[in-house]
Structure 1
């Protein structure tokens, strides 16, 4: 992880986390065990996304995860694969046509 991408130690950058719907849910819902595949993996992701769906800080959470390039877990309602694809699409849109 590149620490230079993290927003810093200022409280205003992190206080959104106190309002997250996930605070009452165990982290194991948002971060699957290494090697988990198939229906168990998909069900865990869907359950985590359900918590994110009505979360009051979903946008802040996703913005953080994209800026920090969070490599694991569900953040802001998106899995690591979904965030990777979103960032890749943003990069492609910014590249000038050859």
Structure 2
């Protein structure tokens, strides 16, 4: 095997590490503590039902949905770019 090429174990370790980092980052974004009465971004009131349903909530539903939509849009764009710029299907012998 040519030097410089990662073996399958190294690739799997990198994938697992990336997944673990994403999980840790997501857990870090979970609200903690006391819920706010007003959205920290727009100042809109946060209804009592939302504060009870999501302990530590900091955003109103509109800001929260906007952030979710924006993130999904970014993920869709990234997925589309990966389709056109992926080297996954290439074998080093093909080069």
| Greater Rg over alpha carbons, structure | 2
The TM tier, using the shorter chain, reads: under 0.3
Which structure: greater helix fraction? 1
TM-score (norm 1): 0.26
Higher relative contact order (CA 8 A, sep 6+): 1
TM-score (norm 2): 0.27
